Amino acid sequence: MSVNKVILVGRLGRDPETRYTSGGQAVCNFSMATDRAYKDRTGQTQKQTEWHKIVAWGKLAEICQQYLKKGSQIFIEGRIQSRQWDDKEGNKRTSFEIVANEMRMLGSKGDGGGAGRAPAHDAGEAHEPAPSDDFGAPESQVSDEDIPF
């Protein structure tokens, strides 16, 4: 038996972008930041930010597009998926994304969360992967204070 399950709580780094496949299936992409606080060797508290590429399909994609915006605090549950391709120079590249099957808005309307405005949604069955996008996140450290909302 194996398990591929991811649970994240964080904030959107930018507004969601939704497209439709040739078959009419909605696919929504956005970036999400999660933070980890820790003490370094000198005892100073440090914050490390990780950026995640999120992909939602179908009805969940449409809900994300309708209700989420940059700075929204959300809960995401899904699975890790890798994507491989050859870049312009012919080098093999790999990226990882979270394919969401559930999303919940957190926080209040005033802080970009809007809890209670849309129900959690379970995407159900797996779908084809989204077209390849490079949602490269900034390399620098980003905190909640750095995300305007």
Give yes or no for residue 22 having a pLDDT over 90: yes
Cα–Cα distance for residue pair 40/123, rounded to 1 Å: 40
pLDDT at 140 over 70: no
Distances (CA, A) of 135 to 40, 60, 101, 122: 30, 19, 19, 24
CATH T-level topology, domain 6-146: OB fold (Dihydrolipoamide Acetyltransferase, E2P) (2.40.50)
b/e burial code for range 38-58 (CB count within 10 A of at least 16 → b)? eeeeeeeeeeebebbbbbbbb
Q: What is the residue extent of each domain of the chain? A: 6-146
Mean pLDDT of 52-68: 96
Give this prediction's pTM: 0.70
Per-residue pLDDT at 117: 39
Any alpha helices (H) in the chain, and if so which ranges? 58-67
